[in-house]
Structure formats: structure tokens, C-alpha cells
Amino acid sequence: MEKRRVHVWIEGRVQGVYFRACTQDAALDLGLKGWVRNLRDGRVEAVFEGDRDRVEKMIHWCRHEGSPGSRVDHVEVKEEDFTGELDRFELIA
């Protein structure tokens, strides 16, 4: 399978609603590697790396599902070179 890596920024009501924890759960369910963290400006930032179709499903999850109580207004996606250096999916405090 073709591999893909994306860097994403999620805007909306995404802090204080378990968005990071739910993102980690969804990424692990899809077998993705990467990380997720809150930003001081109220956004959530994440990197997803894995099979192309699974990364696409994760982007869809960020845009259309999210955590209960969240509201996603915008998702910015930046393609990056796949490195394969990540060994897990981590929630960064």
C-alpha cells in the first residue's frame, strides 16, 4: 500500500471536549502513527502517518466526526514526505 503523511490543524470548539483523546483512539483504531496536541490559540495540531486510505479516513474523522461536544469549523491539511520514523501514536500534553 502507498504510504502518506499529513500535518493537520483543526479549528473550532476542539479543546476541553476530549478531542485529543478521541483523535488518539481513532488513529490507533486505524493503525496510524503520529501525534496530537493542543495549541495555545485554541486549535488542535496533529500528524498522521500510515496507509494512504487510512490517513484519508482520519482526515474525514477530523472534519466530520470529532469528539462528542466538539465543533469543527476548519481543517487545514498539509502533505509532508512520509518518513516512517514514527513508531506509535502519541497524545502530547
pLDDT in tens, 19-30: 999 999 999 999
Of the candidates 5, 20, 43, 54, the residue annotated as catalytic is 20
Q: What is the pLDDT of residue 1?
A: 82
Of the candidates 13, 37, 38, 63, the residue annotated as catalytic is 38
What is the length of the chain?
Answer: 93
**What pLDDT, in 10s, does the model give residues 34-79?**
999 999 999 999 999 999 999 999 999 999 999 999 999 999 999 9
Residue 76: how many CA atoms within 13 Å on its side-chain side? 7
Dihedral sign from CA coordinates of 21, 58, 86, 5: negative
Q: What is the pLDDT of residue 41?
A: 98
Q: Respond yes or no: is residue 38 known to be catalytic.
A: yes
**How much of the chain exceeds pLDDT 90, in percent?**
98
Domains of the chain: 3-92 (3.30.70.100)
Q: Respond yes or no: is residue 88 known to be catalytic.
A: no
The answer on pLDDT for 93 being more than 90 is no
